[in-house]
A = this chain, B = another copy of it.
């Protein structure tokens, strides 16, 4: 574990180990209070995300470390004229670990390739937000005591929600989980995510009422008005994906309600006082996950060997995704990883856009 760019880089065992360190920190915070003394975290936020930035900064400070950084590109001369490559190489002169949030997909991956210090992806466009996924897993482990044998209801915009995609992929690695996808037809879970669910069952439905009674875990996400061509359609559909106190009556007494936050209207405020609502504790678990991650990356830095270039092929000279960082930085080559040998499916090494060759 040299960098933390996407969840699928890691085995089930590595993920479990990360969660266990997070649990240990939670139970013995004093043990870790000086663990990062004298070390520096750089928070490189090319777009603002206060919640995520706070979580990482609190994590480093609670480990006894210190923080430098910028909170949006507009304030940053580094961000303006300079390539991501040069920026990370300079930041590596000052800091011991860097966290990057970027509007371009694959930017943290690109940084990691040129970086002497560990790089953590804190969200790259619509692509990945891997520490959110580990946060979600730790929350389920803490609140339900297991990551297996769960009925997981996911509700909202399942088409565009990167946290949903990543969580489904991660939970599919654990035994006997069943997924219930609740969304308007326009925002259904994509096929390539369903293809990840190999040994588990899944069901699709359009209203929360259908899925709620089975749920051990309910994962709510926001539906953005902008996703609908027809505003009337939005008004008609949105209520079917809103959680209210009234609907909570349908749910099991030991179900948990999760949300990556911030929420807008999709969970009404009268749910907040329900003991099954764990979306604020979830934010707290996120800090402990990030403490575990910083700890692991900085301490494993010396022992780890880099194998980034393995199994990468120079399929095309560029990636077709206009938001891919490879179309915004000067790069000698773009690698494409072989995902599926039989069907000749490759993915861009930066943004993971799929290519069937």
- Residues of chain B within 8 A (CB-CB) of A62 are 38, 40
**A68 beta carbon closer than 8 Å to chain B:** yes
Contacts of A54 in B (CB 8 A): 42, 68, 78, 90-91, 94-95
Q: Are A70 and B86 in contact (CB under 8 A)?
A: no
Asked whether B90 lies within 8 Å of A283 as measured between CB atoms, the reply is yes
How many Å from the CB of A132 to the closest CB on chain B?
A: 14
Q: For the complex, give the distance between the alpha carbons of A89 and B262 in Å.
A: 11
Q: Could you write out 23 A-B pairs with CB less than 8 Å apart?
A: A38-B62, A40-B61, A40-B62, A48-B77, A50-B70, A50-B76, A50-B77, A50-B79, A51-B77, A51-B78, A54-B68, A54-B95, A57-B68, A61-B66, A71-B75, A72-B75, A75-B75, A77-B262, A78-B262, A81-B264, A85-B269, A86-B261, A93-B286
Q: How many residues of A contact B (CB 8 A)?
A: 48
> A91 — which chain B residues lie within 8 A by C-beta?
54
Q: Of A49, A82, A95, which is in contact with the most chain B CB atoms at under 10 Å from its CB?
A: A82
Near B by CB (< 8 A), chain A positions 279-299 give 280-281, 283-284, 286-287
Contacts of A86 in B (CB 8 A): 261-263
Interface of A is mostly: helix
Q: How far is the CB of A217 from chain B (nearest CB, A)?
A: 20
B93 touches A76 (CB 8 A): no
Contact A89 to B55, CB < 8 A, known contacts A77-B48, A77-B49, A262-B82:
no
Q: Which of B40, B49, B85, B262 contacts A58 (CB 8 A)?
A: B40
Docked complex Cα distance between A50 and B263 (Å): 30
Query: A50-B77, A51-B77, A93-B281 are known contacts; what are 16 more A-B pairs with Cβ within 8 Å?
Result: A40-B58, A42-B54, A48-B76, A50-B75, A50-B76, A51-B78, A54-B90, A58-B68, A58-B95, A71-B76, A72-B75, A81-B262, A85-B269, A86-B262, A90-B262, A90-B280
Shortest Cβ gap from A77 to chain B (Å): 5
Q: CA of A75 to CA of B79 in the docked complex: distance in angstroms?
A: 15
A213 within 8 A of B: no
A40 — which chain B residues lie within 8 A by C-beta?
Answer: 58, 61-62
Which of A75, A82, A89 has the most CB atoms of chain B within a 10 A radius of its CB?
A: A75
Interface residues of chain A, those whose CB is within 8 Å of chain B, are 33, 38, 40, 42, 48-51, 53-55, 57-58, 61-62, 66, 68, 70-72, 75-79, 81-82, 85-86, 89-95, 261-264, 269, 280-281, 283-284, 286-287, 330
Per the bound structure, the CA–CA distance linking A155 and B18 in Å amounts to: 50
CB-based contact A48/B75 at 8 Å: yes
